[in-house]
Amino acid sequence: MAALLKDVVLTPTHPKTLLLQKHVDYIASYGTDKDEYEFCMTEYLRMSGVYWCLTAVELAGQPGRLDREEILSFVRRCQDESGGFGASVGHDPHVLYTLSAIQGRLDAIDVDKATDFVVSCMNFDGGFGSKPGSESHAGLIYCCVGMLSVTGQLHRLDADLLGWWLCERQLPSGGLNGRPEKLPDVCYSWWVLSSLSMLGRLHWIDGAALAGFILACQDAETGGFSDRPGDVPDPFHTLFGLAALSLLGDAAVGAVSPTYCMPQRVVDRLGLRPQRLSV
């Protein structure tokens, strides 16, 4: 018997238009109740959360909705004596949150060595896993393609083979999964789509069908996007939903950099020129 394809079913009750103002309201009110259970339980993600929320309201064209001084003061208070940044005030420093706090600085690392390691994680299907020989995974592919884009080494991967693996992630619902036999998820819209964009192969998937899936993942009551239609929204999926719609050409959302997942105007202002291939 043939295996059933894992997917979700979109119904007429799911949203079909972009509820942009609701998403800005959702992000602006997120975390205002500091005693809320969810807010307390996600303290270890706080620094990344600042990045997700800031970028989401930037892309929505309303950066003023978040308190700039409050955020700057929080980021400063998270810096450890060692120079690293923690997830929240008083937490130990960690590379992930240091990245979220600074986003960039290539002059401080051995780029050639780091690039060789990334290329050693490439698989026979063109994809990348977390270490040499690990299964290809869309989230890790984004990290590797992004790294090669930043360092100008995209010629070291097989763009056609990888592009084919990435566009096979699209399911009949229009949504994208991260690996074969997995359900579609809004955040994978970003990991897959941004990788295809850096490879110059964005047109290899059905953009209209994907936009339909992403719009169906909006919460029409509270605002925000969830991983799949009908689930609880969160700032992580809200940013990646908006960012994916930006890459798909939604004029209501500001332009996003596929390499950095930051507003394009910020990347331009910093003078960053990540590599992009063309077919």
Min. distance of Cβ 133 from Zn ion in angstroms?
A: 25
Q: Of 58 and 227, which has the nearer Cβ to Zn ion?
A: 227
AA identity, residue 58: E
Query: Around 47, how many Cα atoms within 13 Å sit in the side-chain half-sphere?
Result: 26
The least CB distance from residue 138 to Zn ion, in Å, is 10
d(CA 3, CA 134): 24
Picking from 77, 59, 61, the residue whose alpha carbon sits closest to that of residue 69 is 77
Q: What residues make contact with Zn ion under the rule CB under 5 A?
A: 185, 187, 227
C-beta of 128 vs 190, nearer to Zn ion: 190
Q: Which is nearer to Zn ion, 219 or 227 (CB)?
A: 227
- The CB-of-211 to Zn ion minimum distance in angstroms stands at 17
Sign of CA dihedral 235, 239, 245, 248: negative
Nearer to Zn ion, 58 or 185 (CB): 185
Q: Are 171 and 184 in contact (CB under 8 A)?
A: yes
Q: How far is the CB of 176 from Zn ion (least distance, A)?
A: 11
Radius of gyration of the chain measured on its C-alpha atoms: 19
Judged by beta carbon, residue 65 or residue 228, the one nearer Zn ion is: 228
Least Å distance, CB 35 to Zn ion, is 27
- Cβ-proximal residues to 173 (8 Å cutoff; 6+ apart), any chain: 7, 8, 9, 10, 184, 209, 213
CB 64, min distance to Zn ion, A? 28
Output 157 or 187, the one with its CB closest to Zn ion: 187
Q: Do 56 and 27 meet the contact criterion of CB atoms below 8 Å apart?
A: yes
Quote the CA–CA distance of 93 and 26 in Å, as a whole number.
Answer: 29
How far is the C-alpha of 30 from the C-alpha of 133, rounded, in Å? 40
The gap from C-alpha 253 to its chain's centroid, in whole angstroms, comes to: 15
Q: How far is the CB of 237 from Zn ion (least distance, A)?
A: 6
Closer by beta carbon to Zn ion, 98 or else 173: 173
Q: Tokens for 78, please give them.
A: 């998270």
